[in-house]
Amino acid sequence: MSLSTPIFLKEREEDNSKFVEIQQSQTTSIAAEYPLQNLCLASQEVLQKAQQNGRSKCLRCGGSRMFYCYTCYVPVENVPIEQIPRVKLPLKIDIIKHPNETDGKSTAIHAKLLAPEFVNIYTYPCIPEYEEKDHEVALVFPGPKSVSVKEISFHLQEKIQNNVGGKNDDLDKPFIKRKKTEEQDLNDSKCKDTTLKKIVFIDSTWNQTNKIFTDERLQGLLQVELKTRKTCFWRHQKGKPDTFLSTIEAIYYFLVDYHTDILKEKYKGQYDNLLFFYSFMHQLVKNAKCPGDKETRKLTH
């Protein structure tokens, strides 16, 4: 009996280990299938009722829309504005929209609806002047020169020092010594408040972004990339990596990373309501793919 007990325990441990692996696999699978399930959202009952009632009138322009008017940036008549959450943001946001971007398909409008005091939308070629404030502004866009959210403070501090000539003497230092100095500056910058006050996003299909991105008015801005986030956008463009996010996803994920990496605060869902419309539409599209659900096919704007 004394010999059989360890064998039994070993088999039991192996079974438990397999069970845990299966559970973890299922959890990962569920998270991939329902990426927006754990958000801290306001009640979406108002959107459910609007979905059932169909299109409604915009009280400003009179256009027939679903949920909100993408021209006037306001909810429609059957979506009372007091039932739409308002999100307070730590930064101002500018969105540069491509003139050929279809208004009804743009998720950038969600940000304007939910955080109107913090978000401005400009239609290209209209771009604000950032040249005098390039140490306070960054552009979220992938590329070889882009930095991570964690590195923003260091690079903006570097811009300030370069503007006043503070780094000129560093060019005379040996490369190894200069590299160590830069690494020390990066560590020191984590203890300083970031000078970042505004973040810029481009709202366009990925094939149309080059015209805006190469505009000389954006060339002096620090470029930031969200390398670890994956999109769940239902209009994801073929041939593009899943790290290419929709505009509202990019805004949301940037703010979450900014909150934890720059502000050094625990994230407790403060910006989740930026996905108030997006998560609802995502679920509608998902349901519409199921046979027999005709109601959800009314999603089109």
Q: Which amino acid is at 297?
A: R
Any domain includes 212? yes
Say which residue the tokens 């979450």 belong to. Answer: 256
DSSP 194: P
Verify that 53 and 144 share a domain, yes or no: no
Q: Within a domain: residue 4?
A: no
65 and 122 belong to one structural domain: no
Among the listed residues 25, 123, 6, the one whose alpha carbon sits nearest the alpha carbon of residue 73: 123
Residue 151 lies in a domain: yes
Is 61 found in the same domain as 139? no
Residue 204 token pair: 């366009």
DSSP-derived 3-state class of residue 31: helix
Looking at the fold, whether 200 and 258 belong to one and the same domain comes out as yes
Is residue 153 within 8 A of residue 187, CB to CB? The reply is: no
At 155, the pLDDT band (50, 70, 90 cuts) reads very high
Say yes or no: 65 and 204 in one domain: no
Please indicate, yes or no, whether residues 53 and 97 belong to a single structural domain of this protein.
no
Q: Are residues 111 and 137 in the same domain?
A: yes
Is 6 part of any domain? no
Residue 79 sits in the same domain as residue 200: no
Residue 116 region by backbone torsions, left for phi larger than 0, else alpha for psi between -120 and 50, else beta: alpha
Q: Does 66 map to a domain?
A: yes
The total number of structural domains in the chain stands at 2
Q: Of the candidates 153, 159, 237, 214, which has an alpha carbon nearest to the alpha carbon of residue 188?
A: 153
pLDDT per residue as tens digits for the range 189-244: 444 456 899 999 999 987 888 899 999 999 999 999 998 888 886 565 566 657 77
Which residues is 61 bridged to in the sheet?
Answer: none
Q: Rounded to whole angstroms, what are the CA distances from 4 to 1, 9, 10, 15, 91?
A: 5, 9, 10, 17, 65
How many helices (H) and strands (E) are present in the chain, helices listed first?
8, 9
Model pLDDT for residues 171-190, shown as the tens digit of each residue: 444 545 444 544 555 444 44
Which residues on adjacent β-strands are paired with residue 93? Answer: 119, 199
List pLDDT tens digits, range 233-292: 656 556 665 777 889 999 999 999 999 999 999 999 999 999 999 999 988 888 877 655
> Residues in the chain, how many?
301
In a domain? residue 273: yes
Instruction: State the Rg of the chain over Cα.
Output: 24
Domain shared by 66 and 115, yes or no: no
**74 or 169: whose pLDDT is higher?**
74
Q: Are 207 and 70 contained in the same domain?
A: no
Q: Which residue is it, tokens 């994230």? A: 267
Asked if residue 17 belongs to a domain, the reply is: no
The residue out of 36, 68, 84 marking a domain boundary is 84
Shared-domain flag, residues 141 and 214: yes
| Contact predicate 277/47, CB 8 Å | yes
Residue 223 corresponds to which tokens in the numbers above?
């470029």
Examine the domain organization and report whether 78 and 93 are in the same domain: no
Condensed to tens digits (0 to 9), the pLDDT of residues 53-102 reads: 999 999 999 999 999 999 999 999 999 999 999 999 999 999 999 999 88
Residue 68 lies in domain: 44-84
In the numeric block, the tokens 């604000």 are attached to: 128
Q: Is residue 208 part of a domain?
A: yes
pLDDT in tens, 109-143: 999 999 999 999 999 999 999 988 999 999 999 98
69/67 Cα distance (integer angstroms): 7
